[in-house]
Chains A and B, each alone.
Chain A
């Protein structure tokens, strides 16, 4: 049953669901790390560790200097204490891996390997999954990549971004920062200065990547930020589907995760990007958890290109994330499918931006928010039709479901149209889980908990059906786990 095995990439085993965050363990790994704090020397240290060319260091320093002049954005509907950026470690790597790229025969640290095995992520080529190529990132470095031979054959480049900086400088120089420049926002420029690892994918013209590419991000070290950077380029007529999953140990202190993801689709290319985010979200009283401040943006650069974002946001103490599409090529399509579930004291301010520049561009937004306990869940999105974009079409639907009386659910869409041929429709509803539906299901002999799971699952179906089947099953389980005990 390869399908079911694949499913285990996100949730370790098919163990009975439990309220506790089961990925909350800490691995005892010898690490090679930078001292806490941020300054130009730290950035030089990171760059040196990554064995980067001079131009990359220059880019990092430029970003850092710009970052120094900026203030943290505070407009989102989330509250958190002041972040001390000097109290964060910007580089941490398992010791045995820190020279991975210098020493090809270097063995993987057995503890790191065990960590990924506990998480259900097979990092050995021998145990690799059918249909999914995995890149595993542990704190600041990529520790393993599978399926490399088959990808090589097709000319697909799928490697850690630090390797790409060295091996494919032309592509990196052309595209890194082309969609999210270092001047984009506070967290994006911080990322540009200190990013450590992430994935780089290039699919050559006309190639349809036959497997799902997947990255698994794991934060392990204490007081460490994770600043990953992902860049995916689909050349003319190419197709690629990419999945990412994330977890972190349970800790009482907050940890910062400020990632940047850039997607570029040339003529007729298609990129599907799915995230199942299950960072540690803090305990019931809101202690600890990951601050997930992420900038994700896709650029539909070519004609008839398509970028599709699917996200299941189930973790992190605070989520600040707006995966967006810049629809520049005529006839290009942007999609955003999102399920955001918050419980306990989680806060999520998430949504998308669809910027219509080209003619005949289309976008679809389907956002489902579920808030339970004392959490706060906000959809915030922008649909913008520029004056010269003819015959553009947008359809958005944003539904929120309330589970519990102390949570809040907000919907703040921004819609701006400057062209008379645009058709923009937006609908949103916020309501309690339907008593009638629950009653009907229970009248068929189903217990309350399962009835609720059925209704919630139906509520999210439009989004889950965008995911590969195995991942959809996992997402469903994740949701059930999150809502267990919140209802009633």
Chain B
């Protein structure tokens, strides 16, 4: 990370790459509504107050901050509306499709839900005047307070694409919302901020996909916050296929209300370096969170994921299943935390992380954790690291399959425990195709 010019030896460097006071001042003159600027201001103050992470910080020990070449990055100006066109293969399966590219974005209302004002999907600039209350409460709200993390603060101060999704109480969205990120421009940084507010008793699905070409250096620092109201149900699927020269930092959090449920599947395949923190904080009694994930880390990829299963209320449930493979020189880091806050009794939480190390030299770290401050509950985790079971490979070979085919089938089966939960056939098939291609490309 590059230093600011005014830095002295004893003062910790708080400026990351080009994200300095000057850039912030320019952003503040961008003509945004005053209430939105106020949110940026709060985040910027937190950003200035927080020290830049170093590899001496526990959370960054396995992913040194200098893997993120911020010094070479040019932040994109705020993305302009009504630009990005083009279509994706799954557009027909959604009510609303938001496409985002280098400089522009576009919100397509494919089933008239926006026109009929059943739900609202709008840039933050617009939301700030239409839903000032929602923006005040739920943009960098309690789920992602900017003073929690340096990069949450950076995102909150410097975001260049902000979106509010509001599902009013009682509304059930049949098909869902697709947000597609596709980037081409080298050396740019995309800083998206997404706030989803699902009202009481509502039901919706949000799918996010991300792509960029290999060979194009690109960076993204994203934040997503989900507020799942009482008795609401929200499904989130995130398919990450950034190119091999994209580095991503992400911080996502769901707040889950009484009797509500969040089902969240993250599929992390792309990027050169990823450092992601995400999870749920269950705030209401009777609520539950199901978190599933897949990752495949090959070549020189480095994927660092931290999941949080926080229980702040009694009688709550969470289940997590993260499965991944490392191949070639890939290095994956999984850190999972189950936390029961004082008073969170009758909690049932489980966390499983299974890792396949497919060749020597690939590396998988797993650090499951339990932080329990309440009694009368049951929290457990299980973690495994290993290769395929030799007996199973032998069995399949005895049925006439060659070794690579036997291994492919077993690895597919390993991933299937999660991929079978993906409710969209197209996305599930895409996951299978990615895994097959990765196995075929093993060095």
Contacts and interface: CB of A to CB of B under 8 A. Distances in A.
A419 B377 CA distance: 36
Q: How large is the interface on A (under 10, 10 to 19, 20 to 34, 35 or more residues)?
A: 35 or more
Contacts of B384: 423-426
Contacts of A388: 360
A25 interface: no
B214 to A, nearest CB: 26
A411 interface: yes
Contacts of A404: 375
A3 to B, nearest CB: 37
Interface string B364-382: 1111111111111111111
B372 A418 contact: no
Contacts of A68: none
Interface stretch (A6-14, A268-276, A281-289, A429-437): A429-437
Contacts of A415: 365-367, 383, 385
Contacts of A402: 372, 374-377
Interface string B274-296: 00000000000000000000000
A411 B370 contact: yes
A337 B249 CA distance: 39
Q: Does more than half of chain B's interface fall in helix, strand or loop, or is it mixed?
A: strand
Nearest to A404: B375
B144 to A, nearest CB: 24
A370 to B, nearest CB: 12
Given A403-B375, A430-B378, A418 B370 contact: no
Contacts of B129: none
Contact of A424 (B342, B363, B385): B385
A417 interface: yes
A419 B128 CA distance: 52
B386 A423 contact: yes
A403 B375 CA distance: 7
B236 to A, nearest CB: 27
Contacts of B372: 400, 402, 408-410, 430
A484 to B, nearest CB: 18
A418 B379 contact: no
A410 B360 contact: no
A94 to B, nearest CB: 44
Contacts of B369: 410-413
Interface in A234-273: none
A465 to B, nearest CB: 23
B204 to A, nearest CB: 34
Given A387-B361, A405-B376, A430 B386 contact: no
Interface string B135-164: 000000000000000000000000000000
Of the listed residues B375, B376, B379, the one surrounded by the most CB atoms of chain A closer than 10 A to its CB is B375
B373 A408 contact: yes
Given A409-B370, A412-B369, A424-B386, A417 B378 contact: no
A417 B355 contact: yes
Nearest to B359: A420
A422 B359 CA distance: 10
A429 B380 contact: yes
A281 B378 CA distance: 28
A428 interface: yes
A425 B385 CA distance: 7
A80 interface: no
A415 B386 CA distance: 12
Interface residues of B, number: 35
Contacts of B383: 413, 415, 424-427
Contacts of A427: 380-383
Contacts of B234: none
B435 interface: no
Contacts of B387: 420-423
A6 B358 CA distance: 52
A96 to B, nearest CB: 50
B377 A430 contact: yes
A85 to B, nearest CB: 23
Interface in A381-413: 385, 387-388, 400, 402-413
Contacts of A419: 357, 360
The CB with the most chain A CB atoms within 10 A, among B362, B363, B371, B372, is that of B372
Nearest to B362: A420
A32 interface: no
Nearest to A379: B370
A414 B367 contact: yes
A417 B363 contact: yes
A374 to B, nearest CB: 11
Given A387-B360, A420-B358, A424-B384, A405 B367 contact: no
A416 interface: yes
Interface in A415-473: 415-432
Nearest to A416: B365
B29 interface: no
Interface string B217-238: 0000000000000000000000
A410 B363 contact: no
B58 interface: yes
A432 B367 CA distance: 23
Contacts of A428: 368, 370, 380-382
A419 B355 CA distance: 12
Which of the listed residues B360, B362, B376, B387 has the most CB atoms from chain A within 10 Å of its own CB?
Answer: B360
B360 A400 contact: no
Contacts of A431: 377-380
Contact of A430 (B357, B362, B370): B370
B375 A407 contact: yes
Given A400-B372, A410-B372, A412-B367, A417 B377 contact: no
A420 B357 contact: yes
Contacts of A420: 357-360, 362, 387
A410 B370 CA distance: 5
Contacts of B361: 387, 418
A428 B350 CA distance: 10
A19 to B, nearest CB: 21
Nearest to B366: A415
A15 B351 CA distance: 45
B367 to A, nearest CB: 5
Interface string B99-124: 00000000000000000000000000
A400 B374 contact: no
A418 B362 contact: yes
Nearest to B384: A425
Contacts of A387: 360-361, 363
B375 A426 contact: no
Nearest to B364: A417
Contacts of A409: 370, 372
B54 to A, nearest CB: 14
A406 B364 CA distance: 35
A404 B363 CA distance: 40
A418 B359 CA distance: 9
A408 B370 CA distance: 10
Nearest to B358: A420
Nearest to A424: B385
A417 B360 contact: no
A175 to B, nearest CB: 31
Contacts of B360: 387-388, 418-421
Given A420-B387, A422-B386, A413 B368 contact: yes
A271 B378 CA distance: 36
Contacts of A405: 345, 374-376
A408 B342 CA distance: 9
9 contacts: A404-B375, A409-B372, A410-B370, A415-B365, A417-B357, A420-B362, A425-B383, A426-B383, A428-B368
Given A417-B363, A417-B365, A426-B381, 19 more contacts: A402-B374, A415-B385, A416-B363, A417-B355, A417-B357, A417-B385, A417-B386, A418-B361, A418-B363, A420-B357, A423-B384, A424-B383, A424-B384, A425-B386, A428-B368, A430-B370, A430-B380, A432-B376, A432-B378
Interface of B: 58, 342, 345, 355, 357-387
Closest 6 CB pairs of A and B: A429-B380, A411-B370, A417-B385, A402-B375, A424-B385, A423-B386
